Amino acid sequence: GSYTRVRIKKELILASKPIGHFEELLPRGQFFRIHNQTIINTELIKEYLKGKGGTVVMKDNSQFEVSERRKEGLLKLFQK
């Protein structure tokens, strides 16, 4: 709802703003919304695993599912 969990390195913070609020504040290109519930720092992507939407593996080896709807936009970032 109107709360967002923000993970900075290993620290988890609960903010009383919706994820869309953060999406508007963060620099486009460096941060990308890969799912309704997930925005990632694109500079920390280690690899992309193909799939229906795919999965992003971050440098700390955490993994996040990419929605089918947002897959194309993410892949365009890799082409730059």
Q: Can you tell me the distance from the alpha carbon of 13 to that of 37, in angstroms, rounded to the nearest whole number?
A: 15
Structure tokens at 16: 């009383």
Give the span between the Cα atoms of 70 and 45, in whole angstroms: 16
- Average pLDDT for the chain: 93
3-state secondary structure of 55: strand
pLDDT of residue 41: 96
The band of 8, judged by pLDDT with boundaries at 50, 70 and 90, is confident
pLDDT of residue 1: 64
The answer for residues whose C-beta is within 8 angstroms of residue 46's C-beta and 6 or more apart is 57, 58, 59, 61
